[in-house]
Amino acid sequence: MLNGQVDPQFRADVQKGLRGPRRAISARWLYDRRGSELFDEITRLPEYYPTRVETELLAKIGTELQEHIGTSGAVVEFGAGSVTKTPLLLRAVRPTAFVPIDISGDYLRAEAASLSGEFPDLLVSPVEADFTGAVALPAAIADMPKLGFFSGSTIGNFVPRSAVNLLRNMRQTLGEGAMLLIAFDRVKPLDLLIPAYDDAAGVTAAFNLNLLERINRELDGTIDISSFAHKAIWNDRESRIEMHLRAGRDMEFSAAGEDFAIKAGESIHTENSHKYDLRSARILLSAGGWTAKAEWSSDDDGFSLILAEAMPVYDAP
């Protein structure tokens, strides 16, 4: 909902996504207010290692990071940050300015207010925009060296083609010579991966099923949510965890003014979370115009932070 109005893009995505034959709805629609609360809960689950591991890693590499970057530039965060990770980075690199970019003004204002209190000398200048496109940064930071921050391994939620577009747009936003600190979740054994996306308390299931609640609420849907089940599947060929909503019986329902049918066992694909090894992460970065300069990994090599630079582009060889 945008100011009480249904986002027309949500309506269009749901109509197209439910028609089949391959049913899929973009993961961006998982994050309404309830979905964002549930995701917050996910980050605190014992099975969901990425948030915990990235926070530990950031705390550990602070001094080294500062040696690479120096101080006194601007940190530009893609997506409103986390209350723990962002302050860790700001304490390590002590920038002059901090620019969080997010599509949700509410999150941005809350983050800006809390950081201004915590870092009174920091110039906090939020930008309300869709960071997947190129973004105009505030004039006040135009001449400062820039460090982009893209945490959480959110790059994994984009299929490679979109991930490359995103990285290119980040390069355009930050400019040649900028640095980017970006998190990648690594390929790991399935007994760790699957529970991270299908936890014992059922929070990830509720997060996924909330998409159907949202469709019923915002698009006058008649979906029998109790007949759908959350599934987390490892797709080895694509190197990703997929979230699906699987129908437990044949169903007919309407939503967004259209009628749909789904058979028992068929599913709606709702999210991808790609997992990388360091080589493939470097290649992805390089396709997006970024050269990896330094890398830090958790002790079990399950999660990595890569510092990359937007170097002048030379065509091969």
How many residues lie near ligand AVI (CB under 6 A)? 11
Q: Please tell me the distance from the alpha carbon of residue 200 to that of residue 11, in angstroms, as a whole number.
A: 32
Q: Which secondary structure element, helix H or strand E, spans residue 208, and what is its range?
A: helix 203-218
Q: Which of 197, 228, 260, 276 binds ligand AVI (CB under 6 A)?
A: 197
Name the residue nearer to ligand AVI (CB basis): 48 or 260: 48
- The interface region with ligand AVI, picked from 103-111, 135-143, 149-157, 165-173 by CB under 6 A, is 149-157
**End-to-end C-alpha distance for the chain, whole angstroms:** 50
- Using the rule CB under 6 A, give the single segment among 8-16, 52-60, 148-156, 162-170 that binds ligand AVI: 148-156
Options 173, 267, 273, 304; binder of ligand AVI; rule CB under 6 A = 273
User: What is the distance of C-alpha 300 from the center of its chain?
Assistant: 22
> Is 26 a residue that touches ligand AVI (CB under 6 A)?
no
Tokens 């060929």, residue located: 237
Residue 32 or 271 having the CB closest to ligand AVI: 271
CA separation for the pair 226, 223 (Å, rounded): 9
Could you give the CA distance from residue 276 to residue 9 in angstroms, rounded to a whole number? Answer: 30
d(CA 78, CA 181): 11
Is residue 267 at the binding interface for ligand AVI, with CB under 6 A as the rule?
no
Among 204, 210, 270, 298, binds ligand AVI (CB under 6 A): 204
One-character DSSP codes across 172-197: HHH-TT-EEEEEEEBP--HHHHHHHH
Per CB under 6 A, 218 contacts ligand AVI: no
Q: Per rule CB under 6 A, is residue 50 in the interface with ligand AVI? A: yes
Tell me if 205 contacts ligand AVI by CB under 6 A.
no
Site residues for ligand AVI per CB under 6 A: 42, 50, 152-154, 156-157, 197, 204, 271, 273
